Chain A
Amino acid sequence: MIKTDILIIGAGPTGLFTVFEAGLLKLKCHLIDALPQPGGQCSEIYPKKPIYDIPAYPEILAGELTEKLLEQSKQFEPGFTLGERAETIEKQTDGTFLVTTNKGTQHCAPVVAIAGGLGSFEPRKPLLDNISNFEDKGVAYMIKDPEVYRDKRVVIAGGGDSALDWSIFLSDVAKEVTLIHRRTEFRGALDSVEKVQELKDKGLINLITPAEVTGLFGANHLEAIEVTKADEVPQRIETDAFIPLFGLSPKLGPIANWGLEIEKNAIKVNNALDYQTNIPGIFAIGDVNTYPGKLKLILCGFHEATLMCQAAYKIINPGKRLILKYTTVTGVDGFDGSRKEAPKSVVKSID
């Protein structure tokens, strides 16, 4: 059981900055994110895109912003549960919340801050009627353990980096790799595209383009797929596995069932005060919340996180008074024993 002061759901920019603001108030944070790395959309979708409206940064790449936020909050030693999706929440008799992930990891905290952005990123599934019958029976949307495919026949579909990279990797592991894409052009790192070309020429990857998987067959486990090229008769390919890699799309997911008031696919909060939801002790900050006049901007998420931490302090330290302190005046004391402070000025007389 992981115990913390503020349990943050979502490790995007808003969640990461919460760690810093909470740290100034001596509150510890732990973050849960469905993605395997922190940064949310900034690291998953557009790490190489510039952002121009972060105060004091005329231009910063989304990936760089993530790194800077991690660095800024490092001394407050946040905990991370990555690659797991927050699934259920339970209020316990002592007033704290128990949040359990899809993998069964349990977290306990008096305050929960949902900074979930657009939701958790789920793989996009191709539109094939019977695909759900074969999930975990030959069909997978992500590759967790490539060894599963050793000496098997594998069909991969998709045209991005992950389709290319896994085709390359599996060409060495699997008995047979077929890569199917709707276009002849692939979007990926130049190295990967060239490598696939080379493996295709050597006959180590069977490339079918422009084509689409149009059918799945098998009694219980997947046995074959049907692939259709434009203006051609569909052909059947026997295979042990079909791995469509069509990227990720965000879904609000299980938090939609937590009893929170939802409006326009976002969580309604009290913006007059502290961004608390209809459940006391659960806050929603950043792109995941909504209130009159809401703007989905990173900089607004930072503001919301700061005010939320003040309210969290009062819940965690009932009756204690809190006074605003400036980091320039008081410095920053990390939980790791580090201290940052302004250099002292010299007082010396001049004759």
Chain B
Amino acid sequence: MSSSDIHIKITDRLGKAHTVEAPTDMALNLMEIVRMYELAPEGTIGVCGGMAMCASCQCYIQSTHELPEKSDDEEAMLSEALHVQPNSRLGCQIQILPELEGLEIKLAPEE
């Protein structure tokens, strides 16, 4: 593990928890980390490529980390997505930064 990695606990759609190391120096987002570790089948996550134009990377934030505010695009997408909870976010809109060490998320069900 590199010193710039953080740990993220990701609960997949089947309910299994995985703690993964996520690099903070590669301009990655949360959706890309899920794909990197293949925690959701290809084609079921990050469908639009990360433009907040689908909700396939929707996840529930389960820890108390302070996250950047939702952009208008993310708000709009989440207002039309299914299975939305108050703690829903689009993984593609959350950049992996050092302050997210210990973040815990759960993937929303596939639409």
Contact = CB atoms under 8 A, between A and B. Distances in A.
A159 B80 contact: yes
Interface string B28-68: 00000000000001111001100101101000000000000
B47 A250 contact: yes
Interface of B: 41-44, 47-48, 51, 53-54, 56, 72, 75-76, 79-80, 82-84, 111
A237 B84 CA distance: 24
A45 B53 contact: yes
B111 A124 contact: yes
B44 A265 contact: yes
Given A45-B48, A46-B51, A250-B47, A187 B41 contact: no
Nearest to B73: A187
Contact of B76 (A45, A185, A265): A185
A246 B80 contact: yes
Contacts of B43: 118, 252, 264-266
A187 B80 CA distance: 10
Contacts of B83: 127
Contacts of B72: 187
B53 A46 contact: yes
A264 B47 contact: no
Interface residues of A, number: 25
Given A46-B48, A158-B80, A249-B111, 11 more contacts: A41-B48, A45-B51, A49-B51, A118-B43, A159-B79, A182-B84, A187-B76, A252-B43, A264-B42, A264-B43, A266-B42
Contacts of B56: 249
Contacts of A45: 48, 51, 53-54
Contact of B47 (A46, A118, A185, A187): A118
Given A159-B79, A182-B80, A249-B47, A265 B111 contact: no
B75 A183 contact: yes
Contacts of B76: 159-160, 183, 185, 187
Nearest to A264: B42
A160 B51 contact: no
17 contacts: A45-B51, A46-B51, A118-B43, A126-B82, A127-B82, A127-B83, A158-B80, A159-B76, A185-B75, A185-B79, A187-B72, A249-B54, A249-B56, A249-B111, A264-B41, A264-B43, A265-B43
Contacts of A159: 76, 79-80
Nearest to A210: B79
A43 to B, nearest CB: 13
A78 interface: no
Interface in A147-181: 158-160, 181
Contact of A247 (B51, B75, B80, B84): B80
A160 B42 contact: no
A46 B73 CA distance: 13
